Structure 1
């Protein structure tokens, strides 16, 4: 085998193995945090469940707060990695859509899909120590910042209700697109996720659009 080809093959194999280890760690962490709680889960237990060494867990994900953040980021993006908001597929679709109502309907679908993945982590955050709450609050603040951008994009369509300022629009969407709100209706009250999505989109259109 040509040496260059062999090096490329070896590099590709190492990357694939590293990605497989990382995904195994994330999957094990999600299961253990949900089953036992964040505080009761040790890194040794997590490594055993993932089938890797403890040192590998720390090398790949860092300490538990960093690991929990990676779980949240993965659930938000729907992939194994953090994806900046501007690079997510649904955000690109919304920005390309000139109609405000269709923007909001597309976002409601994204919220429903995202929160189905985030719901188990919300339960972990509710019972976790302050370090977990800090991660969750940081994500909530980032979501609020992104909603201000969305409010500006909605305003640019010229279809917002008269008298609404951008901060009010952002706050309304932020409050109702939270994983806590999703869990109240879907998990606590038993709404089908599809009903939640339709209700959310219709509610936004009635509240925000002329």
Structure 2
């Protein structure tokens, strides 16, 4: 095959991939807006298609059914990118693992939780609503909670390695404390219900974790 033909095919393939990515992005953006405005149950695939400016079949091809759309929105809200990123590969996790002190690790993580909360809050509300009646969404919510719990056990071990954790707390207890306080429900109580700013929430979270988990002067 001539080189010019190969180059032309690569160009066409690249253009199609770019168009597909743009379509997927438009569909996810439309779904995010509508889930936040109307809730999960009241948002139809047809409404998402109309908001995105595409055909209904294009929504299914680009992102799948409503539960799959919701999963994509959860994952991209967690990663802060246009795709799902495993926890250990996320930028803030890499920085936490590289940090030498427990205080620095908790400061980085509190900032990450605060940033994720801004993106995740409307999607979590849709997920909580959907989980009541949709088995796929209920399974997704349980999966996310379990995944957070497993990640917190790894964080607890990482914090323990600094030698700064309280010795009267087991790693499982440390993990449970952080798990409960990084939950979207905890943020909603302070930010949505009590009107805290994201900045105040971030500072509170870091300070609270340090006071609860780390040894103070003279503590063992």
**2:28/2:73 contact within 8 Å kept:** yes
Give the stretch that moved more between structures: 115-124 or 143-152.
Answer: 115-124
Look up the match of 1:97: 99
Q: Pick the aligned partner of 2:27 from 12, 25, 28.
A: 25
Q: Secondary structure at the match of 1:98?
A: coil
TM alignment of 1:87-166, pairs within 5 A: 87-128=89-130, 129-131=132-134, 132-166=137-171
Paired residue for 1:195, among 197, 200, 203?
200
Cross-structure match for 1:82: 84
Gap regions ≥5 residues in structure 2: 216-220
Structure 1, unpaired ranges of 5+: none
In structure 1, C-alpha distance between the alignment counterparts of 2:85 and 2:124, rounded to whole Å: 20
- What RMSD over aligned residues (CA atoms) do the two structures have, in Å? 1.3
Q: TM-score, normalised by structure 1?
A: 0.96
Q: Provide the rounded CA distance (Å) in 2 between the counterparts of 1:130 and 1:200.
A: 33
Give me the whole-angstrom Cα distance separating, in 2, the residues matched to 1:136 and 1:113.
Answer: 20
How far the C-alpha of 1:104 sits from its partner, in A, is 0.2
State TM-score, norm by structure 2: 0.91
Hey, which bits of structure 1, 4+ residues long, moved more than 4 A? none
Q: CA deviation at 1:161?
A: 0.5
